[in-house]
Amino acid sequence: MQRVPMQRPSSVPITAMKRFPSVLTAIFALAALPALACAADPLATVFEHIDAAAKSFKGITANISNTEFHALVDDTDVQTGTFKLLRVNPTLTRVLLDLTGGMNGAQSMALNGDKALVYNPKTKILAEYDIAKYKDTASQFLALGFGATSAALKASYDVTYVAEETIGGKPTAHLKLVPKSKEVLRQLKQAELWFGDDGLSVKQKFLQPSGDYRLAAYSNMKQAATMQEKDLDLNPKGATRQKMETR
């Protein structure tokens, strides 16, 4: 029987075996790069959702829980009701609020350009405030989370991503906005917005330099593509209109 001489194993497979773990590690690292890139900038994804919503946004209706905190007396007042918002044009946003509960009880409020109206059904008084000098600031605040583009947000605020948080069983992106304008900073220290995947804000918090804040939480939100300006008029029958001084 002829003996077949044994061959020494090639060093190439051995070398390849030694290198295999490092090659595998490199492959996994490369595969993870896209995911890491997305995780590194969640704000970009939020901005994409915001811009997609802004393209077709006209108005919304929703239920609202409105909380106002007064730091000086450490008091919190909560009202609930309905909320309507209509984006008339890029510089004009109209709002109609019908609220109940809290210290003020039932009341309706409307913002229409240079006028703010507040109606008390108990007294039947419709108070009218001239807010012409605050018109641009008011429109800017009202558009936050409802129709403003990411470019508009970044132009007026330093925007940072806080975290992903669950509200009403759905994931939201929590953003913090700090005004760039010194004039606006006198009225608003910072705003916090919680955006859903549809690019609209489901919760808003506006913090004033005094420590007072307003927190609005929205539910049953529906886009109202057919809403008209007359749907936001506040002109109750039998009301006595009074012009009020504006500070």
Q: Is there a domain that residue 234 lies in?
A: yes
The CATH number that applies at residue 156 is: 2.50.20.10
Query: Which range of residues forms the domain containing residue 21?
Result: 10-40
Q: Specify the pTM.
A: 0.80
**Same domain, residue pair 178 and 217:** yes
Looking at the fold, whether 148 and 239 belong to one and the same domain comes out as yes
Q: What is the pLDDT along the chain (247 residues), one digit of tens a residue?
A: 455 454 544 444 544 444 444 444 444 444 444 444 445 589 999 999 999 999 999 999 999 999 999 999 999 999 999 999 999 887 788 999 999 999 889 999 999 888 999 999 999 999 999 988 887 777 778 888 898 999 999 999 999 999 999 999 999 999 999 999 998 999 899 999 999 999 999 999 999 999 999 999 999 999 988 899 999 999 999 999 999 987 6
Do 152 and 136 touch, CB atoms closer than 8 A?
Answer: no
The answer to whether 58 touches 228, Cβ cutoff 8 Å, is: no
Please indicate, yes or no, if residue 2 is contained in any of the structural domains: no
Using CA atoms, how far residue 39 sits from 171, 193, 198, in Å, is 15, 20, 19
CA 36 → CA 29, 30, 164, distances in Å?
Answer: 10, 10, 16
In a 10 Å sphere around its CB, with 0-12 CB exposed, 13-18 middle and 19+ buried, how is residue 104 labelled? middle
169 and 203 part of one domain: yes
Please report whether residue 84 resides in a domain: yes
Do residues 68 and 106 share a domain? yes
Q: How many domains, in total, are found in the chain?
A: 2
- Domain identity same for 208 and 237: yes
User: Does residue 121 lie within any of the structural domains?
Assistant: yes
